Amino acid sequence: MFKRFKPFFALGLLLSVFFLGGCSNYIVLDPKGPVAAQQKDLILYSIGFMALICVVVYVLFTVIVIKYRDRKNDDNFEPDHHGSKKLETIWTVIPILIIIALAIPTVTSIYDLEKAPVSASGEKKEPLVITATAVDWKWIFSYPEQGIETVNYINIPKDRPVQFKLTSADSMSSFWVPALGGQKYAMPGMETKLYLQADHTGTFSGRNSNFNGEGFTHQIFDVHSVSQSDFDKWAKDTKSKAPKLSKKQYDQLMLQGEAKKMTFSSTHLKWVDHAKDRDYAVKTRERLGVVPQNPHGSKAKDANNPEQDSHGVSHSH
Amino acid sequence: MAHAEVHDHNTPLEYQSETGRLNILGFWVFLGAEIALFSTLFATYLVLMYRTADGPTPHELFELKGVLIETFLLLTSSFTCGIAIHEMRRRNRKGLFIWMIITLALGAGFLGYEIYEFVTYVHEGAALGTSAFWSGFFVIVGTHGLHVTMGIAWITLILIQVARRGLTPQTSAKVFISSLYWHFLDVVWIFIFTAVYLTGMVLHNG
Amino acid sequence: MKWDEFFVTGDPLIYGADVSIGLTVIGILFYLTYFKKWQWLWREWLTTVDHKKLGIMYIASAVLMLFRGGVDALLMRVQLATPDSKFLDAQHYNEIFTTHGTIMIIFMAMPFLIGLINVVIPLQIGARDVAFPYLNAVSFWTFFIGAMLFNISFVIGGSPSAGWTSYMPLAGNELSPGPGQNYYLLGLQIAGIGTLLTGINFLVTILKMRAPGMTLFKMPMFTWSALITMIIIVFAFPILTVALALMTFDRLFGAHFFTLQGAGMDMLWANLFWLWGHPEVYIVVLPAFGMFSEIISTFSRKVLFGYKAMVWAMVIIAGYSFLVWVHHFFTMGQGELVNSVFSITTMIIGIPTGIKIFNWLFTMYKGKISFTTPMLWSLGFIVNFVIGGVTGVMLAMAAADYQYHNTYFLVAHFHYVLIAGTVFSCFAGLIFWYPKMFGYKLNEAIGKWVFWVFNIGFNVCFIPQFILGLDGMPRRVYTYSAASGWGGLNMLSTVGGFLMGIAFLILAYNFYYSFRYSERENTGDSWGLGRTLEWATTSAVPPHYNFAVTPTVTAMDPLIQMKRDKQDVKPKIEDIKKIHMPDNSGVPFFMASFFFVAGFGLVFEWYWMGIVGLIGVFITLIIRSFDKNEGYYVSEEEIKETERLTV
């Protein structure tokens, strides 16, 4: 699909190198997996067309503004010149063609992104399933097959698709690992699915990108991409060595606030599936006697001293 | 604001003044906005239709009889309102009063039934805060009920003005506009009857 | 409730604001009393139903709100200029971006445009006033009171902090307790009443009150844009009314429309909000298009290129504006088909918009362009808006949007649309019609400084944000780490922001300078190039009845036609007849004040106060209904005197 428009692609690439100072510096244009790579290609392809449109408009603009500025000599002045069928047809048809050229790869990509990505080698692997639950202001990850759970970080095997089942215990959040691909919302009482895959090892940062209150800025997590064998070893070690997640501990996680990285050898899925249970967190807060406070109220002022959990200080994996 | 009072004898009274004509057109535009308002409420209701949470379902509480009585009262009131306007155009002030008062009485009867219905539901455990479904129900039906209440109060005020000032192009434009409003509420009720009550009784029955 | 919960405490910025608000109020009260201006204020302004005065009040309020929203923006830019900044804490930052967005859209952009529409449209169609002058005053005062209610939140009770989009369940009681979010709901609700009434009013005005001979396809483009905007308002604002009401029920009366409990549905809010919110974008951009059409045509001394195409482009844009709302949340998981459909509908909007850009360019083709400040703003609009437009098409590509969504790329895009489109047009229109409002021009030399400083600042501010977005910087974060590498570009962006702030100050100085020193205009056609009826008045500032004799229109640019026919705009003495005008009324002011009481009561859930306020509103409605409001006649003698005096 992209082949026929290679010149645009090249133009886009050239311009982004020129304007953006080399795309390898910018995270969205420096993909570490096939999903992000497909999106990068689409972005550069569109930048090519858009640059072309800008160039046409700016050239026309400059010529017209200079040529028809108010001068003594007004041979060209035609105050009643009011239209041209030919010109108007041209600038209606060309944008339509451009939009067709953009719509086709867009729609193809929209459909592709809802399927498990195929790795560079072309081999199809069964995706790893991870449930990602957003809670103000942390991420809880469950590995249902491995029976383990982590907070604010995940390990994933390189070159294997990962299917994230996204949900939220309270506010509408958005799960985003820009190096690996675009985002999708995590919503209470709902499950959305997102496929990502890493084709490099390394640590990539992920976050909630949908504003959800005071701790939003620090609602981040790390994605560690490791080899399949390292992943298997980590999963096995975690299952045997990490502590079990108690319901009491889990209910503490339901309170608003940031959290440290944590690792458990059991998951919360046996108590609650937030995709089906919208109000678990709210009810838990009520049960634990946590009353929402007006941020400008006197109680909140006492409670708001900056003693919140510092994020990402220590973790065990 | 030029007042070109040019009209022949066939022009209805309410259209005889410039202000009257502008007001009537303005009111039609307002009704367009009201359509957008009620459409949004209908969309909301339909989206929330199955979200009854732990509360009762509409199938358990809705009763056809009461709703039919309400429908009958309101539809009849729209008819009597039409007769009232007819009488107004015949310059029959007494006829206008009689038929408008009947209209208002029917409207009040509708409202009474609706309040009774709401009270019954609340007693049976379905209030505004019971579930998303009941929030949607009370707000859409309540908004219509509030419109009817305002309509009754408004028409009463206009009738007082007609009693004091007689049937002039100004007062008759007001009466005509309020009748448009009243018919509009009737139309909305038909949609409520279908989308809220009939679907509530039929679709939830499964 | 304790006093320290009622008044916002604990922040030096807020105390500073308290003091300056107090001093300003005392200053104004002193001025009005000392110079015995109370009666003047009441008679000439607070009770007026004159569309020109209401328009000026709209614009003045909008400039004030531009200042407030601009200060919010600069506070944000200071906080983001350096990594790990401690200038603002998270809560304060959240409140500031929420009020920035809400104020700029609802209380700055819309009233600014509605103000210009108020001043210009009745003149442009040759009418004496709008169809419902009284209603026009109600519109203004409800907008003004809504804006004031929203604005006091930062000193009384605390500002909303859930973003101008106020997504649920974040904006619900559980996650946003306190009065802040209630301010948002009630402030917007009250102002929304005014906007809806404006929509009805101008729709009827444009349809029914045009001068004889002005057929629909002889209407000036600004009038066309206003007509189409009003249609969008009439159908879009009720959606906002309902959405706000439903959230109010959730917060105040325990309903479960969007809540976490009771099986509410947060996605419904997002859909309703953007079902209004996207048409809202066109409500603030179509009048801008209309004004640029007028200005570009005037200063190119040429008839508008592709008039019919321009009209149909706007009609198509208006229609499509209701069919694209899902592109605000492609990432909500609605599936491939839905995203594909909305991607394509969104991209299609680019076609009519592109047509308009080329039509503007070719309006200048074969023209004689004079680079006055209104024209500079219009030219700046073309250059900058293209960037907003093409990045809009990029965002419309759903698969790519998954990477742009919620980032600074999006922020930069919509500022390129809203600043280059709406704000540039507000400045252009204000300068263009300034002599129509006040009888003198704003100083051109200072005006050019404003343009260049603002234009450069604007690009320095927002170009880096495109790049920050592609580097993964999410919007609405209150700080970022040094390791992210976003520091340099953010600092650059802040510098640009301050340049815009400086440009605003120069503009404010220009208001003062021109008031003192500008030459007073003595003809209705201040620029000497006027094409439409608002310039065909006998004096620079038209008298309250606008036209002594309603003009007759024979061609598209009626004043150009009149100039070619060597026809004088001065009315013939035998044509003068007495003119019927509406009475002034203090009722709209009181009605809005009662709305304030009701709104304030509901914000704090003091229901007795809410009920008192609403009863007050109903009483004003009843008073109005019983008022005979027959208006009065301006006598022939008075008209003759006015017209002679000002010839």
Residues 6+ apart with CB under 8 A from A283: C261
Beta bridge partners of A203: A224
The per-residue pLDDT for B54 is 85
Residue A7 pLDDT greater than 60, yes or no = no
List the domains of chain B with CATH numbers.
Answer: 13-203 (1.20.120.80)
The per-residue pLDDT for C567 is 84
Q: Identify the closest residue of chain B to C577 by CA–CA distance.
A: B2
**pLDDT band per the 50, 70, 90 thresholds, residue A120:** low
- From the candidates A56, A60, A211, A283, which should be mutated to test the interface with C, based on the most C CB atoms within 10 A? A211
Question: Would you tell me which CATH number, out of the four given (1.20.210.10, 1.10.150.20, 3.30.1490.190, 3.30.70.3270), belongs to the domain C36-585+629-643?
Answer: 1.20.210.10
Cβ–Cβ pairs < 8 A, chains B and C: 128
Report the CATH number that the domain containing residue A265 is assigned in CATH: 2.60.40.420
| Cα C499 to Cα C70: distance, rounded to the nearest angstrom | 12
Query: Across the interface, do A46 and C354 touch by the CB < 8 Å criterion?
Result: no
- From the candidates A8, A69, A110, A190, which should be mutated to test the interface with C, based on the most C CB atoms within 10 A? A110
C373, C430 Cβ separation under 8 angstroms: no
Chains that touch A (3 or more CB pairs under 8 A): C
A95 inside 8 A of chain C by CB:
yes
Residues 6+ apart with CB under 8 A from C609: C597, C598, C600, C601, C602
3-state SS, residue B44: helix
**pLDDT band per the 50, 70, 90 thresholds, residue A305:** very low
| Cα A272 to Cα A263: distance, rounded to the nearest angstrom | 18
C235 inside 8 A of chain B by CB:
yes
Classify residue A183: in a domain, yes or no.
Answer: yes
Q: Which residues of A170-179 are buried (b: 16+ CB within 10 A; e: fewer)?
A: bbbbbbbbbb
Query: Rounded mean pLDDT of A271-279?
Result: 92
DSSP string, C409-441: HHHHHHHHHIIIIIIHHHHHHHHHHHHHHHSBP
- Residue A8 token pair: 């645009």
- The two beta strands, A220-226 and A153-157, are parallel
| Cα A309 to Cα A292: distance, rounded to the nearest angstrom | 18
Q: How confident is the model over C255-306, as pLDDT tens digits?
A: 999 999 999 999 999 999 999 999 999 999 999 999 999 999 999 999 999 9
Q: Identify the closest residue of chain A to C465 by CA–CA distance.
A: A20
Q: How confident is the model over A72-83, as pLDDT tens digits?
A: 777 778 888 888
Contacts of B130 in chain C (CB under 8 A): 256, 262
**Mean pLDDT lowest for which of A250-254, C433-437, C561-565, C619-623?**
C561-565
Query: Rounded mean pLDDT of C215-222?
Result: 95
**pLDDT band per the 50, 70, 90 thresholds, residue A309:** very low
Query: Across the interface, do C358 and A215 touch by the CB < 8 Å criterion?
Result: no
Amino acid at C434: Y
C302, A79 Cβ separation under 8 angstroms: yes
Count the helices and strands in chain B (H runs, E runs): 7, 0
| Cα A63 to Cα A69: distance, rounded to the nearest angstrom | 10
Query: Rounded mean pLDDT of C489-493?
Result: 96
The per-residue pLDDT for C645 is 52
| Cα C103 to Cα A198: distance, rounded to the nearest angstrom | 43
Query: Across the interface, do A113 and C157 touch by the CB < 8 Å criterion?
Result: no
Q: Which of B69, B76, B106 is nearest to B197 (CA)?
A: B69
C318, C231 Cβ separation under 8 angstroms: yes
**pLDDT band per the 50, 70, 90 thresholds, residue C221:** very high
The per-residue pLDDT for B43 is 95
Classify residue A43: in a domain, yes or no.
Answer: no
Q: Crossing angle, helix B18-47 and helix B132-165, to 10 degrees? A: 160
Chains that touch B (3 or more CB pairs under 8 A): C
State the smallest CA–CA distance between residue C80 and chain A in angstroms: 12
CB atoms within 10 A of CB C567: 14
| Cα A2 to Cα A44: distance, rounded to the nearest angstrom | 11
**pLDDT band per the 50, 70, 90 thresholds, residue C640:** confident
Classify residue A93: in a domain, yes or no.
Answer: no
C615 inside 8 A of chain B by CB:
no
Q: How confident is the model over B117-161, as pLDDT tens digits?
A: 999 999 999 999 999 999 999 999 999 999 999 999 999 999 999
Residues 6+ apart with CB under 8 A from C181: C160, C161, C162, C166, C171, C251
C128 inside 8 A of chain A by CB:
no
C224, C556 Cβ separation under 8 angstroms: no
Q: How confident is the model over A9-29, as pLDDT tens digits?
A: 555 555 555 555 544 579 999
C178 inside 8 A of chain B by CB:
no
- The two beta strands, A128-135 and C632-634, are unpaired
| Cα C318 to Cα C282: distance, rounded to the nearest angstrom | 7
Contacts of C249 in chain B (CB under 8 A): 128, 135, 139
The per-residue pLDDT for C566 is 86
Q: How confident is the model over C14-34, as pLDDT tens digits?
A: 788 788 888 888 888 888 888
Integer CA distances (angstroms), C630 to A294, C33, C134, C269, C582, in order: 51, 33, 12, 44, 7
Residue B96: exposure state from Cβ atoms within 10 A (0-12, 13-18, ≥19)? buried
Query: Across the interface, do A110 and C264 touch by the CB < 8 Å criterion?
Result: no
Residue A107 pLDDT greater than 90, yes or no = yes
- Residue C369 token pair: 């362009």
**pLDDT band per the 50, 70, 90 thresholds, residue B2:** very low
Beta bridge partners of A202: A225
C479 inside 8 A of chain A by CB:
yes
First to last CA, chain C: 63
The per-residue pLDDT for C493 is 96
State the smallest CA–CA distance between residue C126 and chain A in angstroms: 23
Residues 560-589 (C) with a CB less than 8 A from some CB of B:
579-582
Classify residue A163: in a domain, yes or no.
Answer: yes
| Cα A285 to Cα A287: distance, rounded to the nearest angstrom | 5
Residue among A65, A82, A92 minimizing CB distance to C355: A92
Residue among A58, A82, A212 minimizing CB distance to C170: A212
The total of structural domains in chain A comes to 1
Q: How confident is the model over C168-207, as pLDDT tens digits?
A: 999 999 999 989 999 999 999 999 999 999 999 999 999 9
Query: Across the interface, do A68 and C329 touch by the CB < 8 Å criterion?
Result: no
**Residue A127 preceded by cis peptide, ω within 30:** no
3-state SS, residue C580: strand
Q: How confident is the model over C114-164, as pLDDT tens digits?
A: 999 999 999 999 999 999 999 999 999 999 999 999 999 988 888 999 999
Residue C218: exposure state from Cβ atoms within 10 A (0-12, 13-18, ≥19)? middle
Residue among C133, C204, C265 minimizing CB distance to B48: C265
Q: How confident is the model over C581-615, as pLDDT tens digits?
A: 999 999 999 999 999 999 999 999 999 999 999 99
B76 inside 8 A of chain C by CB:
no
A206, A223 Cβ separation under 8 angstroms: yes
The per-residue pLDDT for A272 is 93
SS3 of C117-144: the string is HHHHHHHHCCCCCCCCHHHHHHHHHHHH
The per-residue pLDDT for C647 is 44
DSSP state of C634: E
**pLDDT band per the 50, 70, 90 thresholds, residue C338:** very high
pTM of the model: 0.93
Residue C531 pLDDT greater than 70, yes or no = yes
Query: Across the interface, do A109 and C260 touch by the CB < 8 Å criterion?
Result: no
| Cα A144 to Cα A165: distance, rounded to the nearest angstrom | 11
Q: Which domain holds residue A219?
A: 128-288
Query: Rounded mean pLDDT of C493-521?
Result: 96
Classify residue A190: in a domain, yes or no.
Answer: yes
Query: Rounded mean pLDDT of C322-346?
Result: 94
- From the candidates C304, C362, C391, which should be mutated to test the interface with A, based on the most A CB atoms within 10 A? C362
Placement of tokens 């507000």 in the chain: C426
Query: Across the interface, do B2 and C579 touch by the CB < 8 Å criterion?
Result: yes
Contacts of A64 in chain C (CB under 8 A): 361-362, 364-365
State the smallest CA–CA distance between residue C288 and chain A in angstroms: 19
Q: How confident is the model over C383-413, as pLDDT tens digits?
A: 999 999 999 999 999 999 999 999 999 999 9
Q: Which residue has the higher pLDDT, B8 or C204?
A: C204
Q: Which of C234, C279, C296, C557 is nearest to C425 (CA)?
A: C296
Q: Which of C533, C588, C610 is nearest to C137 (CA)?
A: C588
Query: Rounded mean pLDDT of B61-90?
Result: 93
Residue among B29, B48, B133 minimizing CB distance to C200: B29
Q: How confident is the model over B49-59, as pLDDT tens digits?
A: 989 888 888 88
Integer CA distances (angstroms), A205 to A179, A191, B43, C235, in order: 8, 22, 40, 43
Residues 299-328 (C) with a CB less than 8 A from some CB of A:
300-309
Q: Identify the closest residue of chain A to C486 by CA–CA distance.
A: A26
Classify residue A217: in a domain, yes or no.
Answer: yes
**pLDDT band per the 50, 70, 90 thresholds, residue A177:** very high
Residue B3 pLDDT greater than 60, yes or no = no
Mean pLDDT of all residues in chain A? 86
Residues 241-260 (A) with a CB less than 8 A from some CB of C:
256
Q: pLDDT > 90: what percent of chain C?
A: 82
Residue C557: exposure state from Cβ atoms within 10 A (0-12, 13-18, ≥19)? buried
Classify residue A45: in a domain, yes or no.
Answer: no
| Cα C134 to Cα C49: distance, rounded to the nearest angstrom | 6
SS3 of chain A: the string is CCHHHHHHHHHHHHHHHHHHCCHHHCHHHCCCCHHHHHHHHHHHHHHHHHHHHHHHHHHHHHHHHHHCECCCCCCCCCCCCCCCHHHHHHHHHHHHHHHHHHHHHHHHHHHHHCCCCCCCCCCCCCCEEEEEEEECCEEEEEECCCCEEEECEEEEECCCCEEEEEEECCCCEEEEECCCEEEEEECECCCEEEEECCCCCEEEEEEECCCCCCCHHHCEEEEEEECHHHHHHHHHHHHHHCCCCCHHHHHHHCCCCCCCCEEECCCHHHCCCCCCCCCHHHHHHHHCCCCCCCCCCHHHHHHCCCCCCCCCCCCCC
| Cα A249 to Cα A268: distance, rounded to the nearest angstrom | 10
A41 inside 8 A of chain C by CB:
no
Cβ–Cβ pairs < 8 A, chains A and C: 305
Contacts of A65 in chain C (CB under 8 A): 364, 369, 379
| Cα C183 to Cα C8: distance, rounded to the nearest angstrom | 14
| Cα C616 to Cα C621: distance, rounded to the nearest angstrom | 9
Residues 184-223 (A) with a CB less than 8 A from some CB of C:
184-185, 187-190, 192-193, 207, 209-217
ipTM value, please give it. Answer: 0.93
Residue C534: exposure state from Cβ atoms within 10 A (0-12, 13-18, ≥19)? buried
The per-residue pLDDT for A294 is 82
Query: Across the interface, do A95 and C351 touch by the CB < 8 Å criterion?
Result: yes
Query: Across the interface, do C582 and B1 touch by the CB < 8 Å criterion?
Result: yes
Integer CA distances (angstroms), C337 to A106, A129, B1, C398, in order: 12, 24, 53, 11
Beta bridge partners of A154: A223
The per-residue pLDDT for A312 is 37
| Cα C444 to Cα A82: distance, rounded to the nearest angstrom | 29
What is chain B's alpha carbon radius of gyration, rounded to the nearest angstrom? 20
Query: Across the interface, do C174 and A64 touch by the CB < 8 Å criterion?
Result: no
**pLDDT band per the 50, 70, 90 thresholds, residue A310:** very low
Please provide residue C156's backbone torsions phi and psi, each rounded to the nearest 5 degrees. Answer: -120, 110
Query: Across the interface, do C399 and A39 touch by the CB < 8 Å criterion?
Result: yes
Integer CA distances (angstroms), C451 to C291, C297, C376, C385, in order: 17, 20, 7, 15
B18 inside 8 A of chain C by CB:
no
Residues 560-599 (C) with a CB less than 8 A from some CB of A:
none
SS3 of C58-118: the string is HHHHHHHHHHHHHHHHHHHHHHHHCCCCCCCCHHHHHHHHHHHHHHHHHHHHHHHHHHHHH
| Cα B97 to Cα B160: distance, rounded to the nearest angstrom | 10
| Cα C5 to Cα C3: distance, rounded to the nearest angstrom | 5
Contacts of B22 in chain C (CB under 8 A): 131-132, 204, 208
B30 inside 8 A of chain C by CB:
yes
Residue among C169, C367, C406 minimizing CB distance to A170: C169
Q: Which residue has the higher pLDDT, B206 or C579?
A: C579
Helix (H) or strand (E) holding B114: helix B93-123
